[in-house]
Chain A
Amino acid sequence: MMRRLFPHPVLSLLLGLTWVLLVNHIGVGTLVMAAILGSAIPRLTHAYWPHQPRLNSLPLLLAYVALVVWDVILANIQVARIVLFMPRDRIRSAFIPVPITLKSPEAIALLAGTITMTPGTVTADMNGDGTVLLVHSLHAPDPDAIRDEILSRYESRLKRIFE
């Protein structure tokens, strides 16, 4: 019953929260509208997202978000230094194939987004069945080290959260 009313509980929660943030004021009207949006939109879009993603631990996911935000800040400074001070012909860009073992589409999308947001790397493509990501790195003197860091720092954590 609850599953049919709320096919994606986390999505419902996020939609409600987004509405409260957009209104920027907490009142009865806001909460009622948030509840309406949070229950109507997941049901209307249910056909496009039929299967139920597994989420093992919400605290671990929040810890992951905090880690990514911290990495974004640190690595931004790194990219700023490359842009400002590194001679143009010494920047060695490279495409790096990163084989992944994640299966859940949501986790793969999150990993690809993380790679793009953490500076120095952009997810350019993935292979046909989603087992290898193509990552472009701005400055990669050692491509294998970048691949290993993505796998150990982000993929292993996502694996624990989603699988």
Chain B
Amino acid sequence: MSDKHKKSSPYTADRGIPGAFEGETVTRRRFMNVTAQGLGGVAVAAFALPALGFALGPVFERTKMQWQDIGPLSDFNEDEYIPKVFTIVNGIGTAGETTAYVRLRNPEIDTEPEDEYNRVIAISTRCNHLGCPVRFTPAAGRFLCPCHGGVYDFRGLRAGGPPVRPLDRFYTRIEDSRVLVGARYSVNSELKRFSPRDPGQPVDGIGQYLYPARFSTPEK
């Protein structure tokens, strides 16, 4: 070891520093130094922390559930999908709109438990590989994604290609025989509901823990 790191006495008096007090361990020079550096740190934190919080804020913001009218109940039937365009993000024009394929619940094929939110089934067009828009092709009876060949069956379950989970759905409600559509939710391969995940994030098995629910999950 070099002399640079040799231990010296903690007391300034022992180190022969002029003007040292009995029992003093911090020299006045060191005290001034630490104080000035500390104040500088406080000054930087005073603008850096709010700026950081400002940038990170949206991650922790909860979104509000909004219900939108997408037409009378008589528009829809059990056997074919009707595309409906509605707004999921306000104030940014057509960039905030999305399409959902909507049909009535058909007890013969829809085996998941029925409740007030799935009497009408609204399937999101966002592919769960990487988020491209899927299209329902009636001739095939399937949803097809143009980007990387994701295929989903009539219920939105993955039938082939790279998607990691079935197509997302939207909460729906029937009010005065009008159909209202609410927030998005994700489903696993048994159509069990999960809070909305981004595409590419599986929710089966360990996936639901590797890709936890976000703070932005809308409140009901």
A, B assembled together? no
- Residue positions of B touching A, CB distance < 8 A: none
- Residue positions of A touching B, CB distance < 8 A: none
